[in-house]
Chain A
């Protein structure tokens, strides 16, 4: 027998008039047979299709009323029923609900904290009304890659005249720590001070409590402070006309008071001094310089509406041609405008710089942990639902349709998620302060209770309940009721077991990636800590020098040397390894073409080598008298030698190095062994050391003992402070330990490590919770099987092995998947460092072993309990 086109039949069935659907289908089938016999199949198909199409009534509704209308599945009474049943089910399986809920709560809390962090980091200066028009002028060198946040001081002067596209150009000179004296009380404060152009008030949204926005920063010796600083300095907000002494040299008049700035700003200025003052306090300051630039002088501009930064490329080029002149520099260098929205991700004056990579990693980890928690939920719910097969069967038999069952399961998921979300908020509340400290973020509890967080939480909870609840809901509601009632278990159970195992593998994979990452990052960190730097960083205290007049330094050294705890003192520009360096181009003329060497200059006195334990390979040390510019003497390191093309240290002694205009030169008198002049992120630069007392800003003090006791440090510090105060009266004393300063260079990495460790712990905890629940379930399922095995003579050990083996297999699979992923991720991360550890295979083996042990411990409780059970008990009960 022929059948009519199936699609048309389907169309007719679906879109025909419901009242006549049956007989019309029947009639057409009968006619079709008739047509096939009389006019052939082709015409029959055609006629059938045509008739069917004419009979479609897609919008028709049945006119006959149903005697028992099904309730609206989302009506209030049904909703109440769902919640009631869900609550009963949760109460019934308390342990499962607890494991589920706690795991989810941990996951949600993690996601919530990540959200808070990302929200904070992306909210900087978003409140500025002119944010779309504010740009920073940055200097880009073709030779060294990334743009520099600072620029030439002269640019700030000429830009307004040369480029009419700018509405305002505001120079900002930042001084991180400056002494401020209040003459009335004699108190000294060490504060961050900025010198700003008066245009700042048209750039940023400042609210003036007192003073005139236009004139408050236009004259020399004017200072504007924030309200809280007014209270801090003077104890009152009414401070107009009062005096603040800058660095004990220059008196400034308070000309305005600002409302306190937002926390999320890249311009957290509390003491703003008018820009013309800069020349008075620092007579050396070159306000028309084209010779060099630093990060602490930045130029902010306000573009007129309608202009884009690209339009100014030509202008900048014209300015370079007109003022900078040197064609070589113009070729190598250009200026770029960086929008305000990007400034938080590069060096800025807030002292906080967001790392987009770290933020992305954070988001990823948050998502991972949440995923693990959701997997737990899915696994436990489907496992537990096997027990509910009978309930589902009965529900279906008495007329519950699939949709209402789906709603029922989703409600259960939603209820648990809701409770978990509440718990998560409490968890976040408790842990937020410590997280904020760990990440170095100014986050407070108040940040947790905002509408944004609320909206995020509601969204997250909805997504989580859908993610965690959808699979169980569809899976369980879809089974035929007769099966459930007859066999008291789900059909095709095999398939759901494999899926569950797959999900467990995903969980373990994520956990293992995190564990091996944590291990490897820690190895890199301990490599940083223990690396041979080429100098001795132990037991060195560094203090700043407010001035470097030779007589003062002489007295300070003499006083310090009297203390028995102090072994040596060296005055220098910076420590042997420091974050801010002095780079200079040097030239070695040997053959026809001179060799250009970009060199790091270390300036220190004759005690430098001894204090920092730097080894001299050849020649002699510098003397404090080697300062005559006519015959500069320098020490070079091995890298410098290799750039010169000299292999034997002795051969380098006496060579001349040219610099400056090409006629000045310095003579190498000694060669030192390589030591790390930068953090281990970077290579060792070619380095020259010389004695330049003008540039001594720091004293390094080596203590007598390599590992001094707390008391010894205390006495030493007391002595140092006394001598220092005697040498520099009216200044604020501050000190640092060199090893701590060096460790600070790896702050980012330490933070990453802590972050990964914490999330690893949480991920493992959640995964174990899930595993525990799953093991409990398996043990319960196999009670009878174990009973039979025991009766037939199986030993306890063999049964435990049987139960544990399945889970260990999963760990093994996860290890195979996780190892290459972790290896790839970490090798990417290690690219950041010039000096790094190797990724050894045993890390992954260790991770696998660790995970196996953890999994075994989790599972063993349940399997042991199952194995020890009396078979009589388990076999008797039906």
Chain B
């Protein structure tokens, strides 16, 4: 099976899209990440990452309906594809395995 390459930020964005479910688009993804992680994220970074994830096949997108808000411009909504879901699970599994392999006393020493 092909290994999915997910960068840390990519993983965060992908997860956020998954969390937001149907209504994920540029603005609320950015705001959600800022809220949940507490770090300042630029819109342009998020936008670029979304594009890259779509190119990799982890996200799909479609344009929403026209609204009178935001200058009449439509939104692009993102959904996680099955490949995206698989990639997320894989990443999570790798992490879990790695956590499990960690001897408990080491963690205690680090946490000191």
Residues of A within 8 A of B (CB): 20, 22-31, 34, 50-51, 54-55
Complex: chain B residue closest to A55, CB-CB = B44
Given the complex, which residues of B lie within 8 Å of A28, measured CB to CB? 43
The distance in angstroms between the C-alpha atoms of A22 and B47, with both chains bound, is 13
Given A27-B25, A27-B75, A31-B30: A20 in contact with B51 (beta carbons within 8 A): yes
Q: Is B20 an interface residue, CB under 8 A from the partner? A: no
Given A29-B71, A30-B70, A34-B27: A23 in contact with B43 (beta carbons within 8 A): no
Given the complex, which residues of B lie within 8 Å of A54, measured CB to CB? 42, 44-45
Given A26-B73, A27-B75: A51 in contact with B42 (beta carbons within 8 A): yes
Max chain B Cβ within 10 angstroms of own Cβ: one of A25, A28, A29, A30 = A30
Interface string of B41-85 (1 = CB under 8 A from A): 011110100010000000000010000011101111000000000
Q: Is B23 an interface residue, CB under 8 A from the partner? A: no
Given the complex, which residues of B lie within 8 Å of A51, measured CB to CB? 42-44
Given the complex, which residues of A lie within 8 Å of B51, measured CB to CB? 20
The secondary-structure label for the interface of chain B is helix
Complex: chain A residue closest to B77, CB-CB = A23
The distance in angstroms between the C-alpha atoms of A20 and B71, with both chains bound, is 16
Q: Is the beta-carbon distance between A26 and B30 smaller than 8 angstroms? A: no
Interface string of B7-43 (1 = CB under 8 A from A): 0000000000000000001110011000000000011
Given A27-B26, A27-B47, A31-B27: A20 in contact with B76 (beta carbons within 8 A): yes
The distance in angstroms between the C-alpha atoms of A50 and B42, with both chains bound, is 9
Max chain A Cβ within 10 angstroms of own Cβ: one of B25, B44, B74 = B44
Q: Is the beta-carbon distance between A29 and B47 smaller than 8 angstroms? A: no
The distance in angstroms between the C-alpha atoms of A22 and B63, with both chains bound, is 10
Max chain A Cβ within 10 angstroms of own Cβ: one of B43, B73, B74, B75 = B43
B27, B42, B71: the one contacting A25 at CB < 8 Å is B71
Selected A-B contacts with CB under 8 Å, 11 pairs: A20-B47, A23-B26, A23-B63, A23-B73, A23-B76, A26-B71, A26-B75, A30-B27, A31-B43, A54-B45, A55-B47
The distance in angstroms between the C-alpha atoms of A22 and B45, with both chains bound, is 17
The distance in angstroms between the C-alpha atoms of A54 and B44, with both chains bound, is 6
Complex: chain B residue closest to A3, CB-CB = B71
The distance in angstroms between the C-alpha atoms of A27 and B31, with both chains bound, is 12
Given the complex, which residues of A lie within 8 Å of B25, measured CB to CB? 23, 27
Given the complex, which residues of A lie within 8 Å of B69, measured CB to CB? 30
Max chain B Cβ within 10 angstroms of own Cβ: one of A23, A29, A34 = A23
The 5 closest A-B pairs by CB, nearest first: A26-B73, A54-B44, A27-B26, A23-B76, A26-B70
Least CB distance from A3 to B in Å reads 9
Complex: chain B residue closest to A29, CB-CB = B70
Given the complex, which residues of B lie within 8 Å of A50, measured CB to CB? 42, 44
The distance in angstroms between the C-alpha atoms of A26 and B68, with both chains bound, is 11
Q: Is the beta-carbon distance between B26 and A24 smaller than 8 angstroms? A: yes
Least CB distance from A832 to B in Å reads 71
Least CB distance from A829 to B in Å reads 67
Least CB distance from A20 to B in Å reads 7
Given the complex, which residues of A lie within 8 Å of B44, measured CB to CB? 50-51, 54-55
Least CB distance from B48 to A in Å reads 8
Complex: chain B residue closest to A25, CB-CB = B73
Max chain B Cβ within 10 angstroms of own Cβ: one of A22, A24, A27, A31 = A27
Q: Is the beta-carbon distance between A27 and B43 smaller than 8 angstroms? A: yes
Given the complex, which residues of B lie within 8 Å of A30, measured CB to CB? 27, 69-70
Complex: chain A residue closest to B29, CB-CB = A27
Given the complex, which residues of A lie within 8 Å of B70, measured CB to CB? 26-27, 29-30
Q: Is the beta-carbon distance between A22 and B74 smaller than 8 angstroms? A: yes
Complex: chain A residue closest to B61, CB-CB = A23
Given the complex, which residues of B lie within 8 Å of A26, measured CB to CB? 70-71, 73-75
The distance in angstroms between the C-alpha atoms of A30 and B43, with both chains bound, is 11
Complex: chain B residue closest to A53, CB-CB = B44
Given the complex, which residues of B lie within 8 Å of A20, measured CB to CB? 47, 51, 76
Given the complex, which residues of B lie within 8 Å of A23, measured CB to CB? 25-26, 63, 73-76
Given A30-B69, A51-B42, A54-B42: A24 in contact with B47 (beta carbons within 8 A): yes
Given the complex, which residues of A lie within 8 Å of B71, measured CB to CB? 25-26, 29
The distance in angstroms between the C-alpha atoms of A20 and B46, with both chains bound, is 13
Least CB distance from B26 to A in Å reads 4
Q: Is the beta-carbon distance between A22 and B27 smaller than 8 angstroms? A: no
- Contacts A27-B25, A27-B75 aside, 8 further interface pairs with beta carbons under 8 A come to A22-B74, A24-B26, A26-B75, A27-B27, A27-B70, A34-B27, A51-B43, A54-B42
Complex: chain A residue closest to B43, CB-CB = A51
Max chain A Cβ within 10 angstroms of own Cβ: one of B47, B69, B75 = B47
Q: Is the beta-carbon distance between A29 and B73 smaller than 8 angstroms? A: yes
Given the complex, which residues of B lie within 8 Å of A27, measured CB to CB? 25-27, 43, 47, 70, 75
Complex: chain B residue closest to A22, CB-CB = B73
Given the complex, which residues of B lie within 8 Å of A22, measured CB to CB? 63, 73-74
The distance in angstroms between the C-alpha atoms of A27 and B25, with both chains bound, is 8
Given the complex, which residues of A lie within 8 Å of B42, measured CB to CB? 50-51, 54
The distance in angstroms between the C-alpha atoms of A28 and B75, with both chains bound, is 11
Given the complex, which residues of A lie within 8 Å of B76, measured CB to CB? 20, 23
Complex: chain A residue closest to B64, CB-CB = A23
The distance in angstroms between the C-alpha atoms of A23 and B44, with both chains bound, is 12
Given the complex, which residues of B lie within 8 Å of A25, measured CB to CB? 71, 73
The distance in angstroms between the C-alpha atoms of A23 and B51, with both chains bound, is 12
The distance in angstroms between the C-alpha atoms of A34 and B76, with both chains bound, is 18
The distance in angstroms between the C-alpha atoms of A396 and B51, with both chains bound, is 37
Least CB distance from B86 to A in Å reads 26
The distance in angstroms between the C-alpha atoms of A30 and B74, with both chains bound, is 11
Max chain A Cβ within 10 angstroms of own Cβ: one of B63, B69, B70 = B70
The distance in angstroms between the C-alpha atoms of A24 and B47, with both chains bound, is 8
The distance in angstroms between the C-alpha atoms of A31 and B75, with both chains bound, is 13
Least CB distance from B55 to A in Å reads 10
Least CB distance from A297 to B in Å reads 86
Given the complex, which residues of B lie within 8 Å of A55, measured CB to CB? 44, 47
Max chain A Cβ within 10 angstroms of own Cβ: one of B26, B30, B42, B51 = B26
Least CB distance from B17 to A in Å reads 14
Least CB distance from A5 to B in Å reads 15
The distance in angstroms between the C-alpha atoms of A27 and B42, with both chains bound, is 12
Least CB distance from A796 to B in Å reads 60
The distance in angstroms between the C-alpha atoms of A31 and B32, with both chains bound, is 13
Given the complex, which residues of A lie within 8 Å of B27, measured CB to CB? 27, 30-31, 34
Given the complex, which residues of A lie within 8 Å of B63, measured CB to CB? 22-23
Given the complex, which residues of A lie within 8 Å of B73, measured CB to CB? 22-23, 25-26, 29
Least CB distance from B67 to A in Å reads 9
The distance in angstroms between the C-alpha atoms of A308 and B99, with both chains bound, is 93
Complex: chain B residue closest to A56, CB-CB = B44
